[in-house]
Structure 1
Amino acid sequence: MKKPFNSIATSSQTHFEESEEEEEIESSSEEEKSDDTIDSDEEEEIERELAEVTFGELQKARADGTDSISRKPQTETKRRRANKNRPMELSSKKPVRSFRQVIQAPKKVVRDPRFESLCGNLDVEGFRKRYNFLFENNLPAEREEVQKQLKKARDPKVVSELKNHISWIDKQLKFESAKNTDAVILSAHKKKEKEAAKHGKRPYYLKKSEIRKQRLIEKYKKLKASGKLESFIEKRRRKNAAKDHRFMPYRRPNNNSEQ
């Protein structure tokens, strides 16, 4: 009964030993191949270096054996673009900078004509004189046309749009008239101050509040000359009374008097 057991054991041992021998042979062959590849690479490098050495240096090295051939240090070749408009190829091993100029585009120069000396200085008086026809002729004529359209319109949306347009024109005309009066007041004041400066007096500059007061005085003078001053004052009084009435407190109910 013991013989078959021994025969099986011997067969497994022989199979295991054969596999170990095969592995050792394969590993030794791989090492030899790797050594051969390394030697071949080194030989190729030496051949390349010798090809660059001059004939005189080779003769000295062979004659004395003292002069050793100096190997050139391996320097990284700079990558160049085939064309300046193409992107440069970079290795993926090196980290890329977070901010870099990919395309060399020309910078856009933004110029504001208000602050550029190339555009010249703004002449406010000349500008107002050149474009005064808009407020004297165009806007009043446009207001009359919109007023005619408002009478014919029946759609509530169109009516509201036309009313808003009329109110906008009125605001523009009112604002421009106030500007014109301020300009007239300032010009008259400057003339007076120039004459006073000739006599050695210091110039006095008007404040905005003083300009506003003079504007109101001019307005009252015009209304008085046209005979509309009393009606204007009455309208202003009613308007102010309505404003004050909103802030007046209501009478508190007195329960004792009712009882």
Structure 2
Amino acid sequence: MFTYVKSKKRPEKKRSKADRKKPREVSSKIKPSKFKQILPDKKRPVRDPRFDDLSGKFNKSKFNQAYSFLDKKREKEIQKLKKELNQTSNEKEKEKINQALNLITQENLRRKAEKEKDEIIQERRKKEKELIKQGKKPYFLKKSEEKNILLISKYNKLKSEGKLDQFIAKRRKRNAAKEHKYLPERKEKK
């Protein structure tokens, strides 16, 4: 049979009083922190007033009013790009200019739509304030109701322009495409 020989243990190093409280190994169960601050930061933290609450709350209408001069600059830029587009003969340059022009016009359309949306909401709030002055109990719209009011105004606008049928057809097509991917695939005959 086998005889077991006891292995000789190495003599343990005596730990100092400060080390006795610390574990011999770092536990693998505890996740190490991602951000270790080795040295404390002595410099002041940088404050960006655009994202800091100390600078006040964001007021969209005041912001739009303060930076309304940018709309004129954008219009000038559009005219400049159109002129440049007509003058250039290089196809790559034309493509670049066209992309920049499309980007600016899309941004303008988005801003215009947002402005109309804000006007509708402001109009609704003014009516509500007048009703409160008359003695009616205040009623605040839910987000879903606000969405419905905006949708109704959009449909009315499209109807007055004569583009409602085209818009609805496009929307149906998009929704049908979304629903189509959830349909089960047909099994082909072998």
TM-score category of the 2 structures, normalised to the smaller one: 0.5 to 0.7
Q: Amino acid of the residue matched to residue 134 of structure 1?
A: L
1:17-166 matches, within 5 Å, as 108=44, 110-114=46-50, 115=52, 122-135=58-71, 137-147=72-82, 149-150=84-85, 152=88, 154-156=90-92, 158=93, 161-166=96-101
Aligned residue number for residue 237 of structure 1: 172
Whole-angstrom distance in 1 between the partners of 2:39 and 2:179: 65
Counterpart amino acid of 1:192? K
1:139 and 1:169 in contact (8 A); partners too: yes
Q: Structure with the greater relative contact order (CA < 8 A, sep ≥ 6): 1 or 2?
A: 2
CA RMSD, Structure 1 to Structure 2 (Å): 3.6
CA distance in 1, matches of 2:84, 2:174: 31
In the alignment, structure 1 residue 194 sits paired with structure 2 residue 125: no
State, as a whole percentage, how many aligned pairs show the same letter: 36
Structure 1 or 2, whichever has the larger Rg, is 1
Which residue of 2 is the match for residue 210 of structure 1? 145
What is aligned with 2:110?
A: 175
- Residue equivalent to 2:25: none
**For residue 186 of structure 1, what is the amino acid of its counterpart?**
I
Cα deviation for residue 170 of structure 1 reads 3.6
Cα distance in 2, alignment partners of residues 121 and 127 from structure 1? 11
Q: CA deviation at 1:226?
A: 1.7
CA, structure 1 residues 198+130, in 2 after alignment: closer, same or farther (shift >3 Å)? same
2-side partners of 1:147 and 1:243: how far apart? 37
Distance across 2 between alignment mates of 1:249 and 1:145: 52
TM-score, normalising length from structure 1? 0.45
TM superposition shift of 1:194: 1.8
Partner of 1:67: none
Counterpart of 1:210, as a letter, is E
The alpha-carbon deviation at position 183 of structure 1 amounts to 1.8
Change (3 A) 1:99 1:254: closer
Q: How far apart are residue 235 of structure 1 and its match?
A: 2.8
Give me the whole-angstrom Cα distance separating, in 2, the residues matched to 1:153 and 1:191: 53
Q: 1:155 to 1:235 in 2, by over 3 A?
A: same
Equivalent residue number for residue 18 of structure 1: none
Query: What's the TM-score once normalised by structure 2's chain length?
Result: 0.57
Paired residue total: 151
Unpaired stretches in structure 1, ≥5 consecutive residues: 1-97
1:182–1:211 CA contact under 8 A, matched in 2: no
